Amino acid sequence: MPTPPFRINVVPDWQGLLKCLRREGTPARVHFIELFLDPEVQEEICKRYDLLTGMDAGDPFFLHRRQIILQNFLGYDYVMYPESIGESVDSRLTLPERITADSAGLVRKGGRAYREEHKGPITSWKEFEAYPWPDPQADGTRSLDWFQDNLPENMCLIGGLVGSIYENLSFLMGYETLCYALKDQRDLVAAISQRLIEMYCKEVERLLQFDRVKMIWASDDMGFRSSLSISPKDLREFILPGHKRLAQMVHDAGRLYLLHSCGELSKIMEDLIRDVKIDAKHSFEDTILDVCEAKKLWGDRLSLLGGLDINFLCLATAEQVRTRVNDTLDRCFPGGGYCLGTGNSVANYIPLDNYLAMLDAGRNYL
């Protein structure tokens, strides 16, 4: 029997997670949250701890069952759908990539893919009309129906990841092309953005039909280390209205709207909090803004997710990780409104034992 990585058992508690995200007081325990775990990380954990013994890989719902087992084992209160099953509409967007060798600890077979930065598949009206836009309803509700009936009662679904409006605008045009199009072809930029917003509205509509979907998680990187990727004016014209519309749909259905967005977003944080009305923000980097500083700035109006810096997790010892978890929780846990996790995602280049140490330290916090 492999030695379990955690000293304390955690039982999923989606209601506790919701209370935490609504900032309804200090939670009974630490809740954990992640944008995603890289497939190599998921595989390694399942293998190392024999999580899939007895499971039938030919079962049409094998991936769904695997997610429940894995998330439960790791201490999460939820399963993310459709992201974790590979059924998101984004996965069906045709986008050019460049591949390089992967040097991560848990190596990605086939190499690491990067988006084409210069010229995407839509740089003209002709290409816009010809683009094979995916149907967000194509996956139907088969998986959602299955989760509705089979997800353990103490777990919920997070509908995600959706709403990559800016990201996919920049991937579809190519970031460099988009930059020039903001001067030369603003009508085309508007058309692509609007098409993406409509696509995500349909996807969110599909997810909200199911009451086990307790929150929607949008993921839309709008900046980089020192700045926004395009001006606040252009984000306010082309992108933020889309998030506002999605958030409104979600709130009207009584759920929460979480937003992951990498980058230096200080110029649009008030837009996101007051106008879009996001309920929680994810993605924090030490070189931009530590999550503990974010708590001081916005913690009374916004819940904060994750924040254990990726670079730190890559370079620290397990003991340093534990110390930092305790320090972060000392400052962010009281009063609720904080879930422990990495600053971005559980990448295949983070030492697995550091990730597990982070979770273990969170379990041992109280």
Residue from 228, 239, 294, 346 binding another protein (CB under 8 A): 228
Distance CA 34, CA 283 (A): 10
Q: Does 225 bind another protein (CB under 8 A)?
A: yes
Residue from 7, 57, 100, 126 binding another protein (CB under 8 A): 100
Specify the residue, 113 or 130, whose C-beta has the smaller distance to another protein.
113
- Exposed/middle/buried for residue 201 (C-beta within 10 Å: 0-12, 13-18, 19+): middle
Residue type at position 113: A
Taking only Cα atoms into account, the Rg of the chain, rounded to an integer number of angstroms, comes to 20
- Least Å distance between CB 115 and another protein? 10
Residue from 18, 69, 95, 314 binding another protein (CB under 8 A): 314
Residue from 182, 191, 201, 273 binding another protein (CB under 8 A): 182
Q: Which two tokens stand for residue 359?
A: 């979770």
Specify the residue, 114 or 125, whose C-beta has the smaller distance to another protein.
114
- Least Å distance between CB 103 and another protein? 5
- Least Å distance between CB 117 and another protein? 5
Specify the residue, 77 or 220, whose C-beta has the smaller distance to another protein.
220
Count of CB atoms within 10 A of residue 127's CB? 15
Residue from 3, 183, 252, 254 binding another protein (CB under 8 A): 183
- Least Å distance between CB 100 and another protein? 6
137 conformational bin, left if phi > 0, alpha if psi -120 to 50, beta if neither? alpha
Distance CA 20, CA 10 (A): 16
Count of CB atoms within 10 A of residue 365's CB? 17
Pairing of the two strands 223-224 and 213-219:
unpaired
Looking at beta carbons, which pairs linking 13-19 to residues 24 or more positions away fall under 8 Å?
Answer: 13/77, 13/154, 14/77, 14/78, 14/154, 14/155, 14/156, 14/214, 16/77, 17/77, 17/78, 17/156, 17/214, 17/339, 18/156, 18/214, 18/215, 18/256, 19/336
Q: Does 313 bind another protein (CB under 8 A)?
A: no
Count of CB atoms within 10 A of residue 205's CB? 13
- Least Å distance between CB 179 and another protein? 4
Pairing of the two strands 97-100 and 112-115:
antiparallel
Count of CB atoms within 10 A of residue 13's CB? 18
Q: Does 96 bind another protein (CB under 8 A)?
A: no
Please tell me the count of residues contacting another protein according to CB under 8 A.
Answer: 26
SS3 97: strand
Stretch that binds another protein, among 61-69, 70-78, 124-132, 176-184 (CB under 8 A): 176-184
Q: Which two tokens stand for residue 260?
A: 């992951």
- Least Å distance between CB 165 and another protein? 17
- Least Å distance between CB 95 and another protein? 16
Stretch that binds another protein, among 40-48, 172-180, 238-246, 320-328 (CB under 8 A): 172-180
Stretch that binds another protein, among 82-90, 111-119, 246-254, 336-344 (CB under 8 A): 111-119
Residue from 175, 238, 257, 284 binding another protein (CB under 8 A): 175
Q: Does 97 bind another protein (CB under 8 A)?
A: no
Residue from 42, 67, 84, 229 binding another protein (CB under 8 A): 229
Ranges within 230-289 binding another protein (CB under 8 A): 230-231, 234, 267
Q: Does 7 bind another protein (CB under 8 A)?
A: no
Closest CA to 246 of 212, 274, 216, 221: 216
Closest CA to 176 of 96, 224, 230, 95: 230
- Least Å distance between CB 113 and another protein? 11
Specify the residue, 62 or 114, whose C-beta has the smaller distance to another protein.
114
Enumerate binding residues for another protein (CB under 8 A): 98, 100-101, 103, 114, 117-118, 175-176, 178-180, 182-183, 224-231, 234, 267, 311, 314
